[in-house]
Each structure stands twice: as C-alpha cells, then as structure tokens.
Structure 1
Amino acid sequence: MQAAARQGASNWFILCVLFTQCTVSVGKLLPAAACMKRPLQLRIIGFGEAYEQHPGVFLAKDQSQPRMLPVPLSRRLLATLEQADDPRKLTAAELFLDARLLAERDCGNLIESLPWEDSPSGILARRDAYARLVGRGDGLTDGFFSAYHLLLDIAQRKCGVQVEHVLLEETDLFGSLRLGGAVVVARQSDAGLSERVCECTVEEALGIALALDRQVWVEEEVVRAAETPVQFTLQGGKMRLQLRPRTEVDAGSPRPAPDAAEPGAKAVLPWELTSAAELLSMSREDKARSALAAGLQLPRARVATDEALTALLSPLLDEAVRRQLGVRAAAAEGRFGEAASIERAATRRGRMMQEMQRAVDMGNFVSAASIAQDLRVENNRRMDVTLDEGEYDAMLDQDDWCAACP
C-alpha cells in the first residue's frame, strides 16, 4: 500500500511538473514556430454546434468576444475533448477506450511525429509508447483526467520532451480553409535546448491545450477568415455555444465553407514531364496538383516550399528528367565534375530525349520527328521509365523488335 501511495504521489508530481514547467514565456513563441504569420493567442471557450449543426469547439481571446473561431469535429471526438475539460478522473477502462482513438489512426497523429530518434528511452521508445497508449504497456494507468493527459505523460516519460506551445495552422495549398494541429515540443540536453514543430490532428492539439490549460496559437488570417458571430445557450443543464443566426449586418462577411473545392485544373503526372525545365517552370500549386494526381500526400502549407514539392515529385519523375535535375543541382553548387559525371552516365533514352529537344530548339522538326519515333520504341521497351537502369532486372525490359511492334 505504501509503495502504491508513493507511486501515485510520484505520478502526481510528474504531472504537475508537466503542466506547469515551461522553459520560455508562454506569451512568446519558440523559434521553431516562428514560421506562423501574425499568430494570435486564443483560448478554448466552450463546446457547441458549429457549421451545419456539426459539433465543434469555439476559440476566442475571451468569452466576452461576440465573434469566435468554430472548429467542427465529430461527436465522438468532441466527447473525448469534453472529458479533458472534466475534473473527474477516468477509470483505466474509460481511459484506454478513448486512448485507442489516438493510437489507431493511419497517419497524422502526434505519436508518429514526436522526435523519437533522440529519445532517452532508447530505440524501442515508440513501440513502448504505442503499447502504453492502448493499455498493453507498463506504467501508471490511473490518475488521468483524459486520454490527452496520458498522451502528455507518454511524451515526457518515453520521448523526453515537453509541450511548449499548441498551434492551429492552415494546411491547404489551394486557398480553401483547412486546419491542422501542431505542437512545439522542447527537450533540454547537455547541448542546450532543442525544439521541434510536431504535426498532429486538430483534435489532439485542442485536447493537449485543454490538458495543459494552455492557449492556442492561430494565424490571424485564419481567424479573420473563419470567425463567426456566436451566442450562448443552455442545453441539458450545460452552457453551450452555437452560431448566431445571420443578419443583414453579417452579410458583408460571408461564412466560409469548411471544405472549399480545390481548383479543377488538369494535373500533369510526374512521369509525364519531359524535361527539368518544364518541372522547374511549374508553379507551387501545379506541383501540388501533380503530386495529388500521383497519389502522394502533400506536406502542410507551412513546409510546402517549391524545393520540398520538387523533392516529393522526384522519385516519380522520368529517370532522364531526374538526371537533368541532378546535373543542374550539382552545377549550381559549383560541383562541375560531378555534374559532368552525371551527364555522361545518361541512358540511351535520356540522350535521345536531349537530342530531340535540341532539334526542336533549332527548328529541325523533321529530325525531331524521326528521333521521336525511335524514342517511342525506347519508351515501350523500358519496364518503368521512372527507374534508373540497373535498379531492376534488365530481363523485365522488352526486346527492341517487340517494342517496335505497333
């Protein structure tokens, strides 16, 4: 009994440290989150009905604000969030029923994005974290108010980090309003303070903010675009929020649709690009459409730079185009010997593409048409034009006579 009491006291002390310790001022963002544009600090004011009577969470500077930022969520996730705001501690069964929602997502959750590579708990820290989140690992299972309190405890014990800031950011590259969650975590070591922005779901970010009683950083542009007049109502003995009926006064600020349609421009698939120049001339949005058309997952708008999208497309580019990119990159960095080496290693098909482009540039269209015929045969011969020769068994390629058949 005494050992259990000491263990419970130790757990309570660690939780108190986790909730209160902060290596920087709460009113100032760590450098890792400085990429946010004009961030505002908002608090979670309450729960209620957001767009089209969907349940949601409402954020504002304080509860006296007439306009708030509604964040729609599913009813199941909203119930889990409300538990984080409830002073009642959960039983182990209740806790792990909610915690499984955090662990059983395919991607995008906080557990996946934490910096496990530097974890003081060793190389199996992530596995142990998942096990504990679903109730199969070791560690304390009582004394938690919600699954988010458990998640924070796992982040500290298994990964050795503390959450310093909670963020909501715009994630879409096409102009529609889509929010994503993120947290700034910090780890103190002999080398000093290191921090990182770890992406998570919106619901995880809000749950962590409730667990820490911390404000949420949201970009001003997002707040101005989506804030809506609200009103308090009493439902089932609980104070709830809902969108205020729109009036003529509100007509000047139309409510944005939560899932605006993306532009319908036709996308060019990565392997259909014929030169590095064509790829580099594409806009960021065109590269994003190409990646989506190829089934790739886009990075968030915060990190979706031109260079990042080019790197994302690179494995699916034609091997000749990818080689041209390598030549350009080496030459731009002054590594001319490496650039020449990459160019000399071009495949027969890559050389034919360059010859055809030179013929077109010189206006020799008869020669270009002749080369295009030979290039068609070479394209048909190759098993996969996105793979470099030698990366797969050459027996998978067709014979020349077979590839030349109409």
Structure 2
Amino acid sequence: MSTADGMPGRPLAGVRVVDLSKILAGPYATMSLADLGADVIKVEHPEGGDPTRQWGPPFRGPDSTYYLAANRGKRSVTLDLKSPQGQEAAHRLIADADVVVQNFRPGSALHETFHPERLTETYPRLIVLRISAFGDTGPLRDEPGYDMVAQAAAGLMSLTGEPDGPPVKAGYAMGDLGAALFGIIGVLSALVERDRTGRGQTVTTSLYESQLALHINWATGFFATGRTPRRLGSGHPSLVPYQAYPAADGHFVIAVGNDGLWQRLCALLGRHELADDLRFRTNQDRVVHRDELNAELEATLRGGTVEHWCTTLKSGGIPVTPIRTLDEVYASPHTDALGIVQEVDHPAAGPLEQVGFPVNYSGNRPRVRTAPPALGQHNHEIFSGLGYSDQQIQELTGTDATGGS
C-alpha cells in the first residue's frame, strides 16, 4: 500500500498529531500513529521533559530505554504549558492539527486549560483523544493511577499468579497498553467519521475501562455464575489441558482446544487410558477434574525433556512450544523472517533497535522513520514555521535558537 507521499505502509500520511501526553499510554498511541505516517509533535516541559526519559537504568545516551521504546517517529518541542506564552504557542500548534492527545489528571489546571470539549468547540475539525486512569465519570475519576494501579483496581492482578500464591501483575503494562490500543482505534474511527461529517470530536478511554474490555470470557463467566474466578497460574478457565507443564529440564506449553486434539495427545504420550477415563473424556469433564488430570500429565511429562516433548507432540499436530526468553525470541529465525525488528540511527545512542509496528499493508510493514527525539530537538524547526523569531523561540522554550538545551 503506497500513499500520496510515495512511501509504502503509511496510511496516515498528512495527518498531524499534537501529543500533550506523557509516560506510556498516550506516547505509545501517538508513536503508533507516527509509525502509520502521521506527523506527531511531542510537547514536553523544558525541565526534564517526559518523566520516562529518566526511568532507568538501562539508558542509551541521555535517555532511558523506557522512553526510547515509546517515542520514535516524533518531533519534540519544549513548552511550559502552565505559562500564558506556552499555552498560546500550544494553541498555534493545535490550530494546525488533526488530533490532540492528552492525559492530564481530571480536575488539574492543565486538564481545564486543554479540556477536550473546549478544544473541539474552538477547533471544530479537531479530534481529541483523552486517556485517563479511571475514566471521566464515577467515584474514582479524580484518582491518580499508573499501570499497576489499574491492573489491581480492575481485577487483572486477582486473575494472575499461581492459585496458592500472591496476586501478580502482568509482565507487560497491560493497563497502559490496553488503553493505548483502544485509544488508537478511537482516533482512527473518529478520522473516518470526520471524513463523512466534517466534524471532529472528543474520544475518551481509560486504563480501567480497557482492562474491563479485556476481561472477555472471565467477565461473561462471572456474569453467568456469580462466582468470583480464581487464579489458575498459566491455566485456562475453560480449556484443559491448556497451560505450562514441567519437563525434566524446564517448562513448555500444551494447548488442547478440542476433544480430537485430546485423543491425539493421549496417544502421543502413550497414555491411552486417559482418553478412555470418564473424568477426562470431554473438555467439560477435564475442566471439572483439572487437578486430577494435571497430576497425571505432569507425572508423564517430567520423564522427558522440553525438546523431546515439543518434537514429539508437534509431529502429531499438537499446539506446543517451549517457553522462550527474550534473548531466544530475538535470536529466533522466525522473528528475523518477519522483519519486525528495525534499526534507526540515534544521534546520541548510535544504532538503536526498535520493535516495529505489527501490521503489514499489502505486504509492506511501516518503516521506523526517525529515532526518538532529544528533548526540544525540533523547537527551531517547528516554531520558526509558526512565525516565532529566534529570540522568541529561546524565551518560549528555554533553549537556544537552534533547539539545543
């Protein structure tokens, strides 16, 4: 898929985004829009910028790898949004934008200054994406929240971990990233609607709401039974066997999604009697007798290595895999074949590897275009284009006329 600028895989070329957000949810959403071709201007405070620049170690150059993971493809400018001059400059940016993303705390001065409804009244074609911790209504609306707070408050931690162990957060920042992904969907659908109506709108989501949406079968099971789900470790609430199992030298995953696969698994394990056992004949039976079945399987599987069982079961069409660590994942020929890891040159950090956008367009994956920006790197480029003189840029941004701090 080519766009008007001639670059493949850039469906959002020509869309301008002003990013007033920080930390992860908003920046990940805007980075994804940049991956898709949008021109994203990241507005940061002159003193330190996005707090994640210092969320380390590890660091590459002056910035943390956390910041570098969620801000590629953007242009950075510095403004004090609490000052009248900073607010006036921000409005000049917004006047030329298609999308604004903000995650100011409800009730804060900055939220009121850049209130979504006020912005869309002033700029009728503007789409404002607002991401909050708990949503803009309800008793928790004014509560601050990071990803782990959302995971705890919205139930994810109650579902994660071993049955007899403590609650555990997900390894990924599922609160932040879930909100980012739903925010992206909101922006893209609002752009489509604007093409039809000519008007923008406010799009809101939250870390809390995104977690509820991702409960899926856990929620519907609770609605149907009224029973609070329990932690199952790597197990599945509705399928057995469908989890990690111990081998002689480590763990691997077996995923049996139907009774035909179950019969085949029993044959490959040499445990034909399990297939005929009335406790395990159907998936429903196996879910009811989960603990007894897992005890039988573990007794057999501990007698072979991970490689042995994965080779044996894969030969019979059973979905199975070792549990790979990140060094193994990124050394995998399959990862390499996908071309999802891309390299971009960073002026301070040198060659910087990035995990690219996970969608292809007619076989073309969007390329990582530019490295995550240095703080205020594009002050002169952007503000001179808005009519500011070198002296005004220096006073406005706290940098010299060329954009350096």
TM-score of the alignment, normalized to the shorter chain, above 0.5:
no
Higher helix share: 1
Give TM-score, length-normalised by structure 1. Answer: 0.25
Give TM-score, length-normalised by structure 2. Answer: 0.25
